[in-house]
Structure 1
Amino acid sequence: MVDRFEPAANVWGAPEFSQQIIVAEGLVLCVGEQFIHEANMLPSAVVISSHYLGELGGRSCGVRVLSAQLDVQGHDWRNLRSLLTSTEEHLFALAGRALQVAYWDRDHRFCGRCGTATHYHSIDRARSCPSCQLTVYPRISPCVIMLVTRGEECLLARHANRRNTTYTALAGFIEPGESAEQALKREVREEVGLEVGNLSYVGSQPWPFPGQLMLGYLAEWQGGELCPDPNEIEEAQWFHYRSLPAIPPVQTLSGQLIQTFMELQAS
């Protein structure tokens, strides 16, 4: 498998592509873990839209969106989460990019301001309204994800209304007018009743569920007692770094924050 993907600039007038990701109804067409196909695999009659994504292994790559899932012999339709731990990071990001572009195209076929059918922008990857000139680009929602630490302990939580029993870091969306740091402190206060002080930025990760950009921090506990919001948090506990519960894989930013904290404590 190729080990490099170069994303394209956010342009609409892109060249035809020689390899493709095929999506329908939020799922990706796969053969096992493989989801990159030759561009001539499906007849054009079943494709409702096509979008150029960039260069994969030196070859042009795009996404083709189908109106419904087709029965393709030897292939399965899989959701993106099922590929998270079994797919290389750059390929998972590419699949996420493909679905996010498909969602944007589906959700903005009509103007959100006046209801007129939109057209593709002549240059940018955008849909424009010919009536009121509103232009809509693919939207990304910025979020913060933070591992609160207290000496050799870190705070992990299980979120309400989720089937997964894994403990993870706290997270939340950045509100209009907030910096990432302001959002982090507010979310910690709202979700578990704690105050945090020193913040250390660790890294970011695109998170296509459906279209977030996660900004990851370590945040030192400054004060307060645990008081989880039951609407958001089912359970929250302090865990020593040598005795952690089931945690997210390192393919996730939450897993990377926890791993970073463990390495800092062990060094």
Structure 2
Amino acid sequence: MSELFVPAAGVRPLPIIRRHILISDGMLLLHSEGLLHRQLPVAEAQVAASHYLGELGGDPCGVHFLASQPDVSGCSWRGLRGLLGQVSELEFSLAGRAVQVINWDLDHRFCGRCGAPTDYYGNERARCCTGCHLTVYPRISPCVIMLVTRGEECLLARHTHHKHGLFTALAGFIEAGESAEEALAREVREEVGLQVGATRYVGSQPWPFPGQLMLGYLADWAGGDVSPDVEEISEAAWFRFDQLPEIPPPETLSGQLIRNFAAQCASRKP
């Protein structure tokens, strides 16, 4: 996919949707060529809610929530995590956006403050309480993901609760009142017992598990020995750039941080 996607914060009433994403029970409907459907493959009566996502190649793109999963000829229902590496980076980004919008819509049908029903709020991506008028937007949780480096080595870890068992960069949520850099230093200290020095921001990535914005950093090791928090980290160690274990795919920010570090080290070799 080479088309440019132009995201939208929310438009009501919806424009005429020309590219469709279908979600039911957290699963997405795929056809033989990918995620996006040029025509709605189910009856309109089966659609419980629809949201405009933006324009893809000039075509309005939307997501539709179905209360049940119908059998659709030539299609299959797939979980979001199973799409990673199986569809294009653009399609995965759209899938993550679609899932987060639907989850927000379903989770806030009633007000968390007074319990009254909520309704859509103007043209914005928001729901407003019909009782106390609390307005709720999709919640994004900021996180830091950091590759700690020491010369030609980087610190990689396997997380206790992750089933895939890959070695990856450290990561953690930013707490209330923290800067990203403060969260970075705290997470590294808590998870592996190290101190960090200079940090360099690299880039960000939305991560829809369940709704994070990952802020990626490189961080210089400043002291300490690796001492993993066994509740969070099953294994952590230093790895030379040319002796890396199995790491996350390049579609992930963690995979990009590690691969870019290795490429930079390799480029300095004679």
Checking the alignment, whether the CA contact within 8 Å between 1:12 and 1:126 is kept in structure 2 is no
Q: Per the alignment, in what secondary structure is the counterpart of residue 110 of structure 1?
A: coil
Output aligned runs, 1:229-244, within 5 Å: 229-244=229-244
- Counterpart residue number, 2:252: 252
Output aligned runs, 1:183-198, within 5 Å: 183-198=183-198
Q: Per the alignment, in what secondary structure is the counterpart of residue 41 of structure 2?
A: coil
Cα offsets for 1:102-132 (capped at 9, x unmatched): 0000000000000001011122110000111
State the one-letter code of the partner of 1:54: G
Distance in 2 separating the partners of 1:228 and 1:32? 44
Distance in 2 separating the partners of 1:32 and 1:182? 46
1:33 Cα shift?
A: 5.2
Distance in 2 separating the partners of 1:180 and 1:33? 39
Normalised by the length of structure 2, the TM-score is 0.96
Checking the alignment, whether the CA contact within 8 Å between 1:13 and 1:122 is kept in structure 2 is no
- Counterpart residue number, 2:145: 145
Note the residue ranges of structure 1 that are not aligned, 5 or more in a row: none
Distance in 2 separating the partners of 1:260 and 1:17? 38
Output aligned runs, 1:1-267, within 5 Å: 1-32=1-32, 34-267=34-267
Checking the alignment, whether the CA contact within 8 Å between 1:192 and 1:229 is kept in structure 2 is yes
1:2 Cα shift?
A: 4.8
Deviates more, 1:25-34 or 1:115-124: 25-34
Distance in 2 separating the partners of 1:40 and 1:74? 14
CA spacing shift, 1:33–1:39, aligned 2, 3 Å = closer
CA spacing shift, 1:157–1:6, aligned 2, 3 Å = same
Distance in 2 separating the partners of 1:28 and 1:87? 12
1:49 Cα shift?
A: 0.2
Normalised by the length of structure 1, the TM-score is 0.97
Distance in 1 separating the partners of 2:244 and 2:255? 12
1:237 Cα shift?
A: 0.6
Note the residue ranges of structure 2 that are not aligned, 5 or more in a row: none
Distance in 1 separating the partners of 2:16 and 2:61? 8
Checking the alignment, whether the CA contact within 8 Å between 2:141 and 2:212 is kept in structure 1 is yes
Deviates more, 1:222-231 or 1:6-15: 6-15
Taking every aligned residue pair, what percent have the same amino acid on both sides?
60
Checking the alignment, whether the CA contact within 8 Å between 2:42 and 2:72 is kept in structure 1 is no
Checking the alignment, whether the CA contact within 8 Å between 1:33 and 1:83 is kept in structure 2 is no
Cα offsets for 1:20-70 (capped at 9, x unmatched): 100011111001451111343211111110000111121111000001211
Q: Per the alignment, in what secondary structure is the counterpart of residue 38 of structure 1?
A: coil
Deviates more, 1:150-159 or 1:76-85: 76-85
Distance in 2 separating the partners of 1:116 and 1:39? 36
Distance in 1 separating the partners of 2:147 and 2:227? 16
Checking the alignment, whether the CA contact within 8 Å between 1:17 and 1:60 is kept in structure 2 is yes
1:155 Cα shift?
A: 0.4
The runs of at least 4 aligned residues of structure 1 exceeding 6 Å deviation read none
Cα offsets for 1:135-191 (capped at 9, x unmatched): 000111000000010111100000002211210000000001011000000000000
Distance in 2 separating the partners of 1:2 and 1:77? 25
RMSD: 1.2
Distance in 2 separating the partners of 1:48 and 1:14? 14
State the one-letter code of the partner of 2:230: P
